Amino acid sequence: MSEAQAAETVWEPSPNDLESFWMPFTPNRDFKQAPRLISRAKDMHYYAADGRAIMDGTAGLWCSNAGHCRGPIVEAIQRQAAELDFAPNFQFGHPKAFELASRLTTLAPGDLNYAFFCNSGSEAADTALKIALAYHNVTGAGSRTRLIGRERGYHGVGFGGISVGGIAPNRKFFGTALAGADHLRHTYDREHQAYSRGEPEWGAHLADDLERLVALHDASTIAAVIVEPMAGSTGVLAPPKGYLKRLREICDRHGILLVFDEVITAFGRLGHAFAAERYGVLPDIITFAKGVTGGTIPLGGVLVRDHIYQAFMNGPEHAIELFHGYTYTGHPVAAAAGVATLDLYRDEGLFERALALEEMWADAAHALRGEPHVADIRTIGLVAGIDLEPVEGKPGQRGYQAMKTAFHDHDTMIRITADTIALSPPLIIGEDKIGQLFDATRRVLRALD
Ligand code: PMP
């Protein structure tokens, strides 16, 4: 970056400038004392408001998989905004939404041949749950109203998502959530899985928990099970070997729909377009968001298999098949960003690149074993979870400190969930930058109290 450009980025806000924005999932009072402000980005780097280059170790919020401000995506967005800024997708349609749906369903495994669009991962989760309920309704199984998630699961912040989600603070302040949601046990057990690379060997049998819920509630009341193939927001939990296959088998046995929430795992994070491919398991519904536009424009959606779409198409002509959708469903600018992003992933072979780097990434991450405060390290695809020993009586404090130290003192953006550091860089990262990212993380660990 030239000096002139660097000068442009400098922003020195007064406390007043920061007051009005109530920031999400952030200790606002602490942030506003010593803000971490970002004003530009390019490729692997953010640029802080004070002009410093900050290595992006997290692809933003797991979304900037192609890196930042990439020319072809920016140009596609500009072109689309100038040509067609908005058009409804209720009763009307425009080419980009159809094009993106076709591209996504071509990329998806099996007969996941239909795409429905929304604007975020939270909306995608709620859309998937609503489609599952409506599917049973239209196929004469309206008693199937129960939705099963998993402890420690994250499916966004809508009422559906928090009901099947299993991260306590995301639920407990918000009343009773949806009736009829239940949870499988989570799949992490440090005693059996510590320092795992890829899928842990231990734990496939935990899928049998679904049989317990079937016995408890009866299959005739259960609509769907939703899980993240790899749980990201809860601290990077890869599925035990064979777990997802076993879950699929149990769902099949009992007529329960299986939903994979791939909001994080789709678009190369685990080395494939969708994690479903990596695991050779075909869910009935996949949710996606984030990486579909490389984070540039909000867009989410669900992919559904033939039997689901067709069940809705069997009603009378001219009837609306699904009473669901958003003003911005398939927004033209978002759809254009999506098509350009998929082009870039393909042209640069970024999913294959992630797969090729996985071994080296895992070596670099696991080399942090034995550093101060490290309690466990897990790697999968281009993701690493590093658990820190919590400060006694103050859960989350050490993680928060690590994130602040990384940004202010080591020019690196890392993500934390409680006391777990989660690293998930743009897929354009190379071996040298992987080295730099873990060196910075090592220095952060050594600097912590
Ligand atoms: N599902 C999963 C698996 C996620 O990781 C997230 C976001 N981290 C969401 C849903 C929610 O997405 P959004 O924040 O776009 O609503």
Domains of the chain, start order: 3-66+349-447 (3.90.1150.10), 74-347 (3.40.640.10)
Full strand arrangement of the beta sheet holding 374-380: 374-380, 383-388, 420-423, 415-417
Our CA angle for 153, 194, 230, nearest 5°, is 30
Q: How far is the CA of 190 from the centre of ligand 1 (A)?
A: 25
Does any ligand 1 atom lie closer than 6 A to the CB of residue 233?
A: yes
CB 375 within 8 A of CB 389: yes
Q: What is the position in ligand 1's atom list of the atom closest to the CA of 289?
A: 15
Note the helical H segments in 255-349: 275-279, 306-313, 332-347
DSSP conformation class of 185: P
Does any ligand 1 atom lie closer than 6 A to the CB of residue 263?
A: yes
Amino acid at site 246: R
Q: How far is the CA of 8 from the centre of ligand 1 (A)?
A: 33
Max Cα-Cα span within the chain: 67
CB 366 within 8 A of CB 440: no
Our CA angle for 275, 297, 62, nearest 5°, is 40
* Nearest CA residue ID for atom 12, ligand 1: 121
Neighbours of 327 (CB within 10 A): 10
Q: 366 by DSSP, 3-state: which? A: helix
Tokens 């398939």 — which residue?
A: 330
* Best residue for ligand 1 mutational test, from 23, 155, 285 (most atoms within 8 Å of Cβ): 155
Neighbours of 212 (CB within 10 A): 12
Residues 6+ apart with CB under 8 A from 20: none
Our CA angle for 265, 269, 272, nearest 5°, is 85
Q: Is the pTM of this model over 0.95?
A: yes
Give the pLDDT score at 8. Answer: 59
Cα four-point dihedral sign 309, 314, 320, 321:
negative
Q: What is the position in ligand 1's atom list of the atom closest to the CA of 121?
A: 12
- The closest alpha carbon to 276, from 291, 262, 293, belongs to 262
* Nearest CA residue ID for atom 8, ligand 1: 233
Pairing mode, strands 300-304 and 383-388: unpaired
Give the pLDDT score at 9. Answer: 61
CB 240 within 8 A of CB 200: yes
Does any ligand 1 atom lie closer than 6 A to the CB of residue 262?
A: no
Q: What is the position in ligand 1's atom list of the atom closest to the CA of 156?
A: 11
Q: How far is the CA of 65 from the centre of ligand 1 (A)?
A: 15
Tokens of 4: 């002139």
Between the alpha carbon of residue 188 and those of residues 140, 206, 210, 379, 416, the distances in Å are: 37, 10, 16, 13, 18
Q: 417 by DSSP, 3-state: which? A: strand
Our CA angle for 58, 59, 63, nearest 5°, is 125
Interface predicted TM-score (ipTM) of this complex, two decimals: 0.99
Neighbours of 316 (CB within 10 A): 6
* Best residue for ligand 1 mutational test, from 290, 297, 302, 420 (most atoms within 8 Å of Cβ): 290
Burial 295-307 (b: 16+ CB within 10 A, else e): bbbbbbbbbbbee
Tell me the angle at which helices 121-138 and 306-313 cross, rounded to the nearest 10 degrees.
Answer: 60
pLDDT by residue for the chain (449 residues), tens digit each? Answer: 454 455 456 788 888 999 999 999 999 999 999 999 999 999 999 999 899 999 999 999 999 999 999 999 999 999 999 999 999 999 999 999 999 999 999 999 999 999 999 999 999 999 999 999 999 999 999 999 999 999 999 999 999 999 999 999 999 999 999 999 999 999 999 999 999 999 999 999 999 999 999 999 999 999 999 999 999 999 999 999 999 999 999 999 999 999 999 999 999 999 999 999 999 999 999 999 999 999 999 999 999 999 999 999 998 899 999 999 999 999 999 999 999 999 999 999 999 999 999 999 999 999 999 999 999 999 999 999 999 999 999 999 999 999 999 999 999 999 999 999 999 999 999 999 999 999 999 999 999 98
Q: How far is the CA of 400 from the centre of ligand 1 (A)?
A: 20
DSSP conformation class of 38: E
HSE at residue 45, side-chain half, CA atoms within 13 A, is 12
